[in-house]
Amino acid sequence: MNAPALPQHLIPQAQPREVPQALLDALQARFGEQFSAALVVREQHGRDESAFSMPPPAAVVFAQSTRDVADAVRLAASDRVPVIPFGVGSSLEGHLLAVQGGISIDVGRMSQVLSINAEDLTVTVQPGVTRKQLNEAVKSTGLFFPIDPGADASLGGMAATRASGTNAVRYGTMRENVLALEVVTASGEVIRTGTRAKKSSAGYDLTRLMVGSEGTLGVMTEITLKLYPLPEAVMAATCSFSSLADAVNTTIAIIQMGVPIARCELLDDNTIRMVNAHSKLSLREGAMLLMEFHGSPDSVKEQVQTVQDIASDHGGQAFEWADTPEARTKLWTARHNAYFAGIQSRPGCRAITTDTCVPISRLADALLDSVAEAQAAKLPYFLVGHVGDGNFHMGYLIDPDIPEERVRAEQLNSQLVERALKLGGTCTGEHGVGLHKMEFLRSEAGDGAVEMMRTIKRALDPDNILNPGKIFSL
């Protein structure tokens, strides 16, 4: 009998299109030292944090301006050669892989904060600006940009995947926080979508169509974002629970009560052990909620009181408070390091990460059964969750040299997604579809909706050159 094999849809086959030498020559001539076909550079741009491997792109263009992007797209378009936008390479789902070959357009050097309109709470950036760089740039204005997916991702990548992270429960995702875009289309034309007005009914919402389109409908070259006043008071807290169910049910109650909590994150006991080992902490080993409250001093006090009451009703204990910036940073660094703590807990391993999001009342069903399944499968895992949004990630820690572990992890992921869809949820809360979730998207959205996406793609990119082979097969 054969060992169980990966389902076919999880073995994306490279189908590289021909990249004519004349195109490479033309790119070299146009871009000079901003062009590279060196293998090491191509390989850097041919992988991401996903479990897939693929031959690298044929070359890399380091764009420094909208004009650069437009010219690179136009040149590639004339030979029907794919272009793949590249930010910092932190995708988890294979978005950056050159599955149909082509040219990587690295926008990392487009890293200017173009204009800060503090009086309107907006900022316009180039796509290579990272979220930390942005917050550094706006610091003196008393404003901040809340979206925080963990990695110090580029804002172009975050917009392209509709990213969110720990603050989304209060401040929304990239969907809610991108106001306007400048985009290079498949023909190399530059268009603008949206304005700096807070709301608009002016035609199709092209901004929201581009956000989350994973580079398949255009290359973003400018991004206008919302900013928020730094809260007058901030309080962070951890609370331990003797069971995962208690922690999850506390979260559900907090959201249902309408507490405007700014962050509400979950780690299970297993993950706490990993974080303690990695970050040399001594957090109590048990399911833990990590929370943050923003507002006026009185409002923060009120939120804290409400949440303490709810948590106590569910057996929450060992509340620890962090009210200085240093203490908060330490606490959140531990949370952000959970991914790496997980990886480090099994040297040489690779994480297969899940990303479902369900309606808040179904969170316990979705999460507890998935953890039980992972434990029964005896596969090491970590569990982190933006549980206030109904979104959680399991990372199955597999040995890449044991193919059977990958199969088991993908099987667990598949069961987890199926469960989430049955509960009214989505296969991806924030990582995107990429190469990994194309089949899940079909289950979730149905053939009709996926065909509508394909129809839009074909209309806007008739030669299928913009990051082809992602989201759906085409």
Q: Which of residues 343-402 bind a copy of itself (CB under 8 A)?
A: 355, 357-362, 389-391
Q: Is 58 exposed, middle or buried (0-12, 13-18, 19+ CB in 10 A)?
A: buried
H/E element, 255: helix 244-256
* 335 touches a copy of itself by CB under 8 A: no
* 140 touches a copy of itself by CB under 8 A: no
In the complex, minimum distance from the CB of residue 139 to a copy of itself, in angstroms, rounded to a whole number: 16
* Per-residue b or e along 280-297, where b marks 16 or more CB atoms closer than 10 Å to that residue's CB: eeebbebbbbbbbbbbee
* 65 touches a copy of itself by CB under 8 A: no
In 247-370, the DSSP E strands lie at: 263-267, 287-295, 317-322, 350-353
Question: What one-character DSSP code corresponds to residue 152?
Answer: -
In the complex, minimum distance from the CB of residue 219 to a copy of itself, in angstroms, rounded to a whole number: 14
What's the one-letter identity of residue 44? Q
- Please say which residue, 18 or 447, places its beta carbon nearer to a copy of itself: 447
In the complex, minimum distance from the CB of residue 202 to a copy of itself, in angstroms, rounded to a whole number: 5
CA–CA separation, 337 and 339 (whole Å): 5
* 219 touches a copy of itself by CB under 8 A: no
- Please say which residue, 98 or 441, places its beta carbon nearer to a copy of itself: 441
Q: How far is CA 145 from CA 141, 168, 289, 327, 335, in A?
A: 11, 11, 23, 21, 19
In the complex, minimum distance from the CB of residue 286 to a copy of itself, in angstroms, rounded to a whole number: 26
User: Which of 343, 344, 366, 347 is closest to 355 using CA atoms?
Assistant: 366
Contact stretch for a copy of itself (CB under 8 A) within 16-24, 161-169, 321-329, 342-350:
161-169
In the complex, minimum distance from the CB of residue 15 to a copy of itself, in angstroms, rounded to a whole number: 21
Of 433, 435, 465, 466, the one binding a copy of itself (CB under 8 A) is 433
Given a contact cutoff of 8 angstroms between Cβ atoms, the answer to whether 89 and 48 are in contact is yes
Contact set for a copy of itself, span 435-474 (CB under 8 A): 437, 440-441, 444-446, 448-450, 452-453, 455-456, 458-460, 471-472
Query: Which segments of 346-426 does DSSP mark as H helices, in order?
Result: 363-376, 403-422
Of 42, 162, 170, 408, the one binding a copy of itself (CB under 8 A) is 162
- Please say which residue, 190 or 377, places its beta carbon nearer to a copy of itself: 190
In the complex, minimum distance from the CB of residue 423 to a copy of itself, in angstroms, rounded to a whole number: 9
* 178 touches a copy of itself by CB under 8 A: no
Contact set for a copy of itself, span 249-308 (CB under 8 A): 252, 255-258, 295-296, 298-299, 302
Of 56, 342, 429, 469, the one binding a copy of itself (CB under 8 A) is 429
In 159-276, the DSSP E strands lie at: 178-184, 190-193, 219-226, 228-229, 233-241, 263-267
Contact set for a copy of itself, span 96-115 (CB under 8 A): none
Q: Which two tokens stand for residue 100?
A: 């149909």
- Please say which residue, 400 or 424, places its beta carbon nearer to a copy of itself: 424
CA–CA separation, 328 and 473 (whole Å): 44
- Please say which residue, 345 or 356, places its beta carbon nearer to a copy of itself: 356
Total of chain residues touching a copy of itself, rule CB under 8 A: 89
